[in-house]
Copies of this chain bind each other. A is one copy, B any other.
Amino acid sequence: MEQIKVTLTETIKVLLEEKKFSTLRDILVTMRPYDIAAVFEELQDEKTPILFRILPKELAAETFVEMDDETQEFLIHGFSDSELKEIVDELFVDDAVDLIEEMPANVVKRILRQADKDMRKQINELLKYPEDSAGSIMTTEFISLRPDMTAEMAIKRIRRTGVDKETIYTCYVNDDNNTLIGITTVKDLLLADDDAPVKDLMEENVISVHTLDDQEEVAQMFSNYNFLALPVVDKEGRIVGIVTIDDAIDVIQEEATEDIEKMAAVLPSDKPYMKTSVWGIYKKRVPWLLVLMLSATFTSTIISSFEGILASVIILSSFIPMITGSGGNAGSQASVSVIRALSLGEIEFKSMFVVLWKELRVSFFCGLTLAVANFVKLMIFDLRGAENSLLIALVVSLTILGTIMMSKLVGSSLPLIASKIGFDPAVMANPLISTVCDSLSLLIYFGVAKTVLRL
């Protein structure tokens, strides 16, 4: 599919140069907004405003929403005020807000000037909500019904007002104070008798979120409860907007990417990898690399202070990377399991002791398996015929057992503690835990060596 898209972009480029506008239109109207946006992003030249003008109005707005911010900004600069107004009029309010959040101040001013008064008011309302809150991803356009309408009246109302609502399938029933008292669906309205009152068709136990709730929790609710949309209410219980499932999916993808990045000690970014500059990537990666490198001073200090042991049994130093590596791997296995369970809402801090008890047993069996495998390997291969081979193999294998157990306990408890004190558990993943485990495993190593080898 990717292959086809590229050829298509080239075809479109040629047609554009030859000014075959009606052919271009024929091609574009068969395509999806997401794919047309990809073509624009690949083109990125001064002819794109011409191509954009070829698109029918609604398709143009839908395509515009799918583009990255550079392409959007580039196009806006090429628009006349009336062209800009046409696009802005077609946008859903939440998409307009997303656009405004990405644009520089002068472009924002131009956009707001073109929006009609009512939309400008709604945009300004939405802009007040903090980033990553339910309020910031909701749309203020939805179908509201009254409890005493009949199914037939409700359907009529939807038919009359529904054309510019982002989703019409879930309808919200409000009382006279605009308090949300129930929800119903187009499916239920259609399948009911014409004169059935809405209040008999509505679900009164409405699950809603507050404007300030975290977007990740909101997205998780979509996945638990199979909603298509979720109402957002203010402190007084009045419905102020809805979050639709397409935005929830975007949040789920973004949050997973963010978790993965944090786990690999990359500062989270909201731009795709291929669209981030070298400098942008550098800035996301170098801080953690520096912090982790400097904190590795502990390991250097520990090794230096046991130089005597290493000097007398020089072969001990050759097992250091294997020991710290195994510890790091064991720790990150545990931390990743716990972090993912935390972000899917499966566990929370109060399960700490259940988790630790589980990890204690898992780590004992993992550690024992590795220690035995390692002992056999050392005796048969690495240390064959070496001086003190039995004792050294014993030191290394005992260290492995201790290191695996310590790493898994550290790896599983740090994310839980982080979540308790309000930090993001994902930051506690691999790199930070590896650094902690590195130091601790060296202490175990030298401690065991000192005891067993009587150094």
Contact = CB atoms under 8 A, between A and B. Distances in A.
Given A32-B207, A34-B224, A266-B336, 14 more contacts: A155-B190, A245-B245, A257-B340, A257-B344, A285-B366, A294-B373, A297-B381, A299-B318, A303-B318, A317-B317, A320-B320, A321-B321, A325-B438, A332-B431
Secondary structure type dominating chain A contacts: helix
B228 A228 contact: yes
B365 A274 contact: no
A240 to B, nearest CB: 21
Contacts of A341: 272-274
20 contacts: A159-B191, A169-B186, A226-B246, A245-B245, A245-B249, A266-B336, A266-B337, A273-B338, A278-B362, A281-B337, A282-B366, A289-B330, A289-B333, A292-B329, A299-B318, A299-B322, A300-B318, A301-B318, A310-B317, A321-B324
A288 interface: yes
A163 interface: yes
Contacts of A162: 187, 190-191
A311 to B, nearest CB: 6
Which has the most chain B C-beta neighbours within 10 Å: A223, A329, A345? Answer: A329
A2 interface: yes
Kindly list the 7 A-B residue pairs having the minimum CB-CB distance in the complex, ordered from nearest. Answer: A296-B322, A264-B336, A256-B256, A303-B318, A299-B321, A273-B341, A226-B246
Interface in A262-320: 263-266, 272-274, 278, 281-282, 285-286, 288-290, 292-294, 296-297, 299-301, 303-304, 307, 310-311, 314-315, 317-320
A353 interface: no
Interface string A408-443: 000000000000000000000111001100100010
